[in-house]
Structure 1
Amino acid sequence: MRPVLAHLADAETRRSRDVKDAMADQFDLSDDERAQMLPSGRQRTMDNRVGWALTYLRQAGLVDQPSRGRVVINAAGRDALTTYPDRIGMKELEAYPTYLAFRDRTREKTNTDLAREGRDATTVEASATPSDLLALAVATNRSAVEGEVLKAAMTLSPTGFEDLVIALLARMGYGRAGSVERTSASGDAGVDGIISQDPLGLDRIYVQAKRYAEDRTIDRPKIHEFAGALLGKQGDRGVFITTSRFSAGAVQEAERINARIELIDGRRLAELLVTYGVGVQAEETVTLYRLDEDYFESL
């Protein structure tokens, strides 16, 4: 990862594609090596390696992505080049809280999957099977994409973020018999969207969408205000979605009031966006095979 970061040291914004080509030049790869593909045949090996290096650097907060397909080093990244003059690997990235949060999300997802099978991570590390390795790879990929999709959501305009939330709710199946619409553009104070669960709009869920920095906390007063907006519309159900997080007081307020308000923080929002395929694309599908013993016994 250090060669990639060093290539960005001049603070120029570069295309990810150009960074990949530059790394192939720096490592003096032959034409055959540059053309080498992953086993899936869908991506060049070097592109994959550099792409993951950039992903890990972004998760650690050393590189920013100002726009689609473009990357630039930030102040933390420049400091890292001085702090780690020889190598930047996974161990070095553990010095950065945002990377640790990403790593913990990965482990959490892996452990959840293993728990469903009655196993634990210690057993897997001691004797990993292809299925175990695939599960770890999937968890790592998903955690990385969730982190990136949340960052992408935070670059949207307020109305763009509201449109994203409405698209997610529609993809989740809400309003299937009725409609899902954004309302804030028309000045509907306190409510950003309305889900009509039936064609006549008699069964409604009201939506509040707030695009805030990840370190900003939504406190009790915001939930109280949203509850007031619901009351003004004679509603008793709402969804408050944000890119940040809710304080303990906000959670308590949502549980205290008569209306039912579902709180979705940034981490849960990212999980839902990936789960329902909003703002992400499937890259490749892997199939694992096993011996069909019954077939051979029948011969």
Structure 2
Amino acid sequence: MAIPTYEQFMYPFLEYLSDEREHTLKELYEYLPKVFQLTEEQIEELLPSGKQSIVVNRIGWARTYLKNAGLIDSPKRAIFRITKRGKSILDDPSIKEINDSILKKYPEFLTFKYGKNEEAEIVSPKAEELNTPLEIIEKNFNLLKHSVQHELLNKIMSCTPSFFEQLIVELLVAMGYGGSIKDAGKAVGKSGDGGIDGIIKEDVLGLDKIYLQGKRWANPVSRPDIQAFVGSLLGVKANKGVFITTSRFTKEAIEYAQNVDRSLILIDGEKLTDLMFEYNVGVSNESVLTLKKIDLDYFEEG
């Protein structure tokens, strides 16, 4: 048989975790090829990039989809176990395979795959065929990006508060504020800091400063949190502030920030990881594809 798709790997992946114990990703890499009786040649077949086997790549995506749909969780790096939601899938006799149609029932999966500002649409195979090759590339690029962004947020949430504060300073330096890390700013993050987590120079000379507040939260940031930060800015006679969170801001918090008499920027978890992605903070290039087009000017004869 052909090498299974990532969707075909998902159900047996979940079945392997049905004992509700913790299992390693290495176990799945060894177990799943046996389920489908893959040959050594199939197991060793590489992606066109030559950097990873097709089997490992597809099992990895099966894991990513199951995790972002809440069917499995990961208490430690490369360790997985089934969740109650995942168990309910196995307990449902009508479900014999797991695919996108099933996963799209879960809001977490829709957010992972489409982002919070996009509407998920179940595209029929016929409609999918109408996509141009470039549209397919862009769609898959966005899916890969969303996957990395979710991993970034999970990683940030597992780090210390002081690391998060330093990350914020490093991100703004990467965006062009203040020059070098040494001269650009500092992470404050200590008791008595007046609600300020970091200070960054707006320019290389440090003619003006931007005050930072970071909240490594899962719950939304509300208006009182923004009001407290504005009060901290008043305390240091500052006119510019950036409030960064790993979660999101409530509607009331956003409206309040838009109406204060100071320059106040709010950055939620999605925007934070967007910026980290764009400015290469906490990420690195895995593979670079360059699309070519015909240079018509080259073929112009004088």
Identity of aligned residues (%): 38
Whether 2:142 is the aligned partner of 1:139: answer: yes
Is the CA contact (8 Å cut-off) linking 1:195 and 1:204 kept in structure 2?
Answer: yes
Whether 2:78 is the aligned partner of 1:75: answer: no
Instruction: Work out the CA distance in 2 between the residues paired with 1:187 and 1:149.
Output: 30
Q: How far is 1:211 from its partner?
A: 1.0
The residue matched to 1:238 in structure 2 has which SS?
A: strand
Code of the residue aligned with 1:257 in structure 2: it is V
| Structure 2 counterpart of 1:211 | 216
The residue correspondences of 1:150-299 to structure 2 (distance < 5 A) are 150-176=153-179, 178-185=183-190, 187-198=192-203, 201-213=206-218, 216-290=219-293
Whether 2:60 is the aligned partner of 1:51: answer: yes
Is the CA contact (8 Å cut-off) linking 1:106 and 1:143 kept in structure 2?
Answer: no
Relative distance call for 1:143 and 1:198 in structure 2 (3 A) is: closer
Code of the residue aligned with 1:180 in structure 2: it is G
Q: How far is 1:32 from its partner?
A: 0.4
Q: Which runs of 5+ in 2 are unaligned?
A: 1-9
Relative distance call for 1:197 and 1:34 in structure 2 (3 A) is: same
Q: Which runs of 5+ in 1 are unaligned?
A: 112-122
RMSD: 2.9
Code of the residue aligned with 2:137 in structure 1: it is L
Instruction: Work out the CA distance in 1 between the residues paired with 2:297 and 2:206.
Output: 56
Whether 2:118 is the aligned partner of 1:92: answer: no
| Structure 1 counterpart of 2:151 | 148
TM-score, length of structure 1 as denominator length: 0.86
The residue matched to 2:59 in structure 1 has which SS?
A: helix
Is the CA contact (8 Å cut-off) linking 2:178 and 2:206 kept in structure 1?
Answer: no
Relative distance call for 1:290 and 1:238 in structure 2 (3 A) is: closer
The residue correspondences of 1:106-121 to structure 2 (distance < 5 A) are 108=118
TM-score, length of structure 2 as denominator length: 0.85
Code of the residue aligned with 1:185 in structure 2: it is K
The residue matched to 2:115 in structure 1 has which SS?
A: helix
Q: How far is 1:15 from its partner?
A: 2.8
Code of the residue aligned with 1:157 in structure 2: it is T
Query: Structure 1 residues 77-86 or 271-280, which shifts more?
Result: 77-86
Code of the residue aligned with 2:16 in structure 1: it is H
Equivalent pairs counted in the alignment come to 287
| Structure 1 counterpart of 2:7 | none
Query: Structure 1 residues 286-295 or 270-279, which shifts more?
Result: 286-295
The residue matched to 1:43 in structure 2 has which SS?
A: coil
Relative distance call for 1:200 and 1:47 in structure 2 (3 A) is: same
Q: Deviations over 1:185-217 (max 9, x none)?
A: 36412000000234664410000000111xx22
Instruction: Work out the CA distance in 1 between the residues paired with 2:235 and 2:62.
Output: 50
Is the CA contact (8 Å cut-off) linking 2:178 and 2:205 kept in structure 1?
Answer: no
Query: Structure 1 residues 288-297 or 172-181, which shifts more?
Result: 288-297
Whether 2:130 is the aligned partner of 1:127: answer: yes
Instruction: Work out the CA distance in 2 between the residues paired with 1:264 and 1:108.
Output: 18
| Structure 1 counterpart of 2:25 | 16
Is the CA contact (8 Å cut-off) linking 1:57 and 1:63 kept in structure 2?
Answer: yes
